[in-house]
Amino acid sequence: MSQICVNNLTFYYEGSFDNIFENTSFSIDTNWKLGFIGRNGKGKTTLLNLLLGRYEYIGSIQSSVEFDYFPYGIAEKYLNEPAIEFVEELKSGCEQWRIFCELNQLGLEDDIMYRPFGTLSFGERTKIMLALLFSGENHFLLIDEPTNHLDQESREKVKEYLAGKKGFILVSHDRDFLDGCIDHVLVLNRHSIEVQSGNFSSWWENKMRKDAFAQKENEKHRKEIVKLRTAAGQVKRWAAKNESMKIGLCPEKEHNHFIGTRAYIGAKTKKMQSRVKQMENRIQQEISEKEGLLQDIETTVSLKLNPLKHEKNTPITACHFGLGFREGERWLFDDLNFTVSQGERVFIQGSNGCGKSSLLKRILQKQPAVFGEKMLQFTSQPGSARQPASETDKSWTQGGKVEFIEKGELQLAFGLKISYINQDTSFLRGSIKNFCWEQGLEESVFCAILRQLDMERVQFEKNMENYSEGQKKKVLIAASLLTPAHLYLWDEPLNYIDLFSRMQIEELLLTYQPTMIIVDHDVRFREQVATKVIQL
């Protein structure tokens, strides 16, 4: 057991206006299971890279352990090779028997290490990298958002696995996942950083109490400041009036108009001016104290949505519907029956590869989206003879279409306008200005929504390929919110999205009750928002 001590850490990116960290200090124990919480773009991944020694910084980071980072960067050349062939390249000195032991704890058989890496599902790839990560000794592990693209079953398995480990920092925005596998939290507030014992729920409860106390204290400060300003204004007026009496006639007290009263009036005026100065100093002190109380309170702005109402109450109906790919006539699912009525928020659940995203794409093929039509971009990946048809078997090309085969019926109401969020963000490039022009969006309103989602204005000057994954997701969400539609199709919209923005989106959907079909694996989000769940 040892300590990792960060002292007076200051860091900024070249060309940036503000410091990411400024004189930041904290200590953590290498035996902790630490959850790392903070807004998108506030420096979580940056801090992990600083611990890894990838950037130069001011201050000191003291530790007696080595750091290792998840996810490993898998080069494209390795996708056609089995993992057993290149794990040594990812983690020098790793022992294969340790990797197999970790895989067994994750519920995988050893033969997965001998299958081409590119044919594996997201969940299988994540588990192999986690097994490799935990196969070493004397390492403090930095785990950056391991649950993205994982189905619910895989998330539960990874959560159970991490609950039995220690000595790591876990970056995640999944509230249920954090509760299940951490015993401390490291929180990036707006102007400070704090370390606290407990899981996400205990930290959140403490935060709510702390914020409520700060708000009450703030109200006291506001009332005191109003009183001080009123008193200071009155004294200032008296001082000004007496100042005018020093050199001439006082209309109210003309009988006192002689040279001897000037010294008295001057002394009295000086005292009043001193009193005004003292009050002004006290007001400034009160304001500073108020700002100190509120600087770390996370406030969210209520978002707005303009869903359209269709003349047909049930815009989508599926009857004994089945979907597969023409190539090899491989079926993803069949005999699916459901309806989507106006105002319903339907969640599609199922394991990776069962056809959730493909169902959304088939709906889009029948009725192109008013927003998101240009986002149907995928690259083909080699399929596995041992797997059923999966979502990695698509052969999308830009401007092209997937050749689906189907049976049964999938009916969409005529004239249905659809707004779509793709789970892929890799196509986001160039400036916000060009993006708005291509999508037909009002730039000023679009940027206002991004500001409400807590994106800094300085980000608007950057190209989107330089955004964090969370910021890219916010671009897609803001564009979808700005697009009036009868139906919103959101495919894993919350991947990489911070906790506070998730709560904003929950409030939005509950307030405006748009008609939606959503694929997402956040348990808390689904419990709050869903009116219906369809299991594939």
Half-sphere exposure of 383 (CA within 13 A, CB side): 15
pLDDT of residue 235: 67
Is residue 414 scored above 70 in pLDDT?
yes
Could you tell me if residue 306 is inside a domain? Answer: no
Q: Which of 54, 4, 44, 42 is CA-nearest to residue 25?
A: 4
Task: Read off the pLDDT band of 481 (50, 70, 90).
Answer: very high
Is residue 327 scored above 70 in pLDDT?
no
pLDDT of residue 388: 37
What's the rounded mean pLDDT across residues 258-271?
Answer: 61
Q: Check: CB of residue 275 under 8 Å from CB of residue 235.
A: yes
CATH number for the domain that contains residue 516 = 3.40.50.300
DSSP codes, 319-340:
EEEEEEETGGGEEEEEEEEEEE
Could you tell me if residue 238 is inside a domain? Answer: yes
- Residues contacting 261, CB < 8 A, separation 6+: 245
Is residue 380 scored above 50 in pLDDT?
no
Q: Check: CB of residue 80 under 8 Å from CB of residue 118.
A: yes
Q: Check: CB of residue 247 under 8 Å from CB of residue 258.
A: no
For 507, counting Cβ atoms within 10 Å of its Cβ (0-12 exposed, 13-18 middle, 19+ buried), the class is middle
For tokens 């803001």, name the residue: 478
Complete edge-to-edge strand list for the sheet that includes strand 21-29: 21-29, 3-11, 58-62
DSSP codes, 373-413:
GGG---------TTS-S-GGG----TT----EEEEEEEEE-
Report in angstroms the alpha-carbon separations of 281 from 225, 238, 270, 276, 278: 11, 19, 17, 9, 5
- Domain boundary (173, 204, 235) is at 204
Instruction: Give the H or E element holding residue 175.
Output: helix 175-181
Is residue 254 scored above 60 in pLDDT?
no
Round to whole Å and give the CA distance between 94 and 75.
Answer: 19
456/16: higher pLDDT: 456
Does residue 415 share a domain with residue 396? yes
| Residue 285: φ, ψ to 5° | -65, -45
Does residue 271 share a domain with residue 344? no
480/385: higher pLDDT: 480
Round to whole Å and give the CA distance between 82 and 532.
Answer: 40
3-state secondary structure of 521: coil
Is residue 247 scored above 60 in pLDDT?
no
- Residues contacting 475, CB < 8 A, separation 6+: 425, 428, 432, 435, 450, 464, 467
Could you tell me if residue 300 is inside a domain? Answer: no
| Residue 428: φ, ψ to 5° | -75, 110
Does residue 389 share a domain with residue 411? yes
Does residue 390 share a domain with residue 336? yes
Instruction: Give the H or E element holding residue 448.
Output: helix 443-452
What is the 8-class DSSP label of residue 369? -
Task: Read off the pLDDT band of 331 (50, 70, 90).
Answer: confident
Could you tell me if residue 290 is inside a domain? Answer: yes
What are the helix and strand counts (H, E) for the chain?
A: 14, 17
User: Torsion angle of alpha carbons 474, 477, 479, 481, nearest 10°?
Assistant: -130
Round to whole Å and give the CA distance between 67 and 69.
Answer: 7
Sign of CA pseudo-dihedral 334, 338, 359, 469: negative
Residues of the chain above pLDDT 90, percent: 48
Could you tell me if residue 310 is inside a domain? Answer: no
Round to whole Å and give the CA distance between 117 and 82.
Answer: 5
What's the rounded mean pLDDT across residues 358-368?
Answer: 85
Here the tokens at position 469 are 């994954």
Mean pLDDT, the chain, integer: 83
- Residues contacting 228, CB < 8 A, separation 6+: 279, 282, 283, 286
Does residue 506 share a domain with residue 401? yes
pLDDT tens for 127-182 read 999 999 999 887 899 999 998 878 888 889 999 999 999 999 999 999 999 999 99
Measured over all CA atoms, what is the biggest interatomic distance in the chain, rounded to whole angstroms? 112
pLDDT tens for 17-27 read 678 898 999 99
Is residue 460 scored above 70 in pLDDT?
yes
Q: Check: CB of residue 335 under 8 Å from CB of residue 379.
A: no
Does residue 237 share a domain with residue 111? no
The C-alpha angle with vertex 495 and arms to 489 and 498, in degrees rounded to 5, equals 115
Q: How far is CA 273 from the centre of its chain?
A: 52
The C-alpha angle with vertex 110 and arms to 105 and 113, in degrees rounded to 5, equals 115
pLDDT tens for 57-100 read 999 999 988 999 999 988 888 889 999 999 999 998 888 999 99
What's the rounded mean pLDDT across residues 471-475?
Answer: 93
What is the 8-class DSSP label of residue 302? P
Is residue 396 scored above 50 in pLDDT?
no
Q: Check: CB of residue 39 under 8 Å from CB of residue 172.
A: no
pLDDT of residue 262: 57
Task: Read off the pLDDT band of 382 (50, 70, 90).
Answer: very low
Could you tell me if residue 303 is inside a domain? Answer: no
What's the rounded mean pLDDT across residues 387-406?
Answer: 46
Q: Based on the structure, what is the number of domains in the chain?
A: 3
pLDDT of residue 385: 30
Residues of the chain above pLDDT 70, percent: 81
Does residue 217 share a domain with residue 188? no
Does residue 170 share a domain with residue 64? yes
pLDDT of residue 301: 79
Does residue 369 share a domain with residue 468? yes
Q: Which of 101, 155, 86, 97 is CA-nearest to residue 123?
A: 155
Does residue 161 share a domain with residue 229? no
- Domain boundary (175, 204, 233) is at 204
Is residue 357 scored above 60 in pLDDT?
yes
Predicted TM-score (pTM) of the model is 0.74
Does residue 130 share a domain with residue 20? yes
Is residue 1 scored above 60 in pLDDT?
yes
pLDDT of residue 371: 62
What's the rounded mean pLDDT across residues 348-375?
Answer: 78
What's the rounded mean pLDDT across residues 277-288?
Answer: 69
Could you tell me if residue 237 is inside a domain? Answer: yes
pLDDT tens for 265-278 read 666 666 766 777 77
- Domain boundary (174, 204, 234) is at 204
Round to whole Å and give the CA distance between 474 and 489.
Answer: 15
Q: SS3 letters for 250-286? A: CCCCHHHCCCCHHHHHHHHHHHHHHHHHHHHHHHHHH
Does residue 72 share a domain with residue 144? yes
pLDDT of residue 389: 37
Is residue 208 scored above 50 in pLDDT?
yes
- Structural domain containing residue 257: 208-294
Could you tell me if residue 299 is inside a domain? Answer: no
Is residue 449 scored above 90 in pLDDT?
yes
Sign of CA pseudo-dihedral 72, 48, 46, 424: positive
Which of 8-12, 251-255, 479-483 is predicted least confidently?
251-255
pLDDT of residue 12: 86
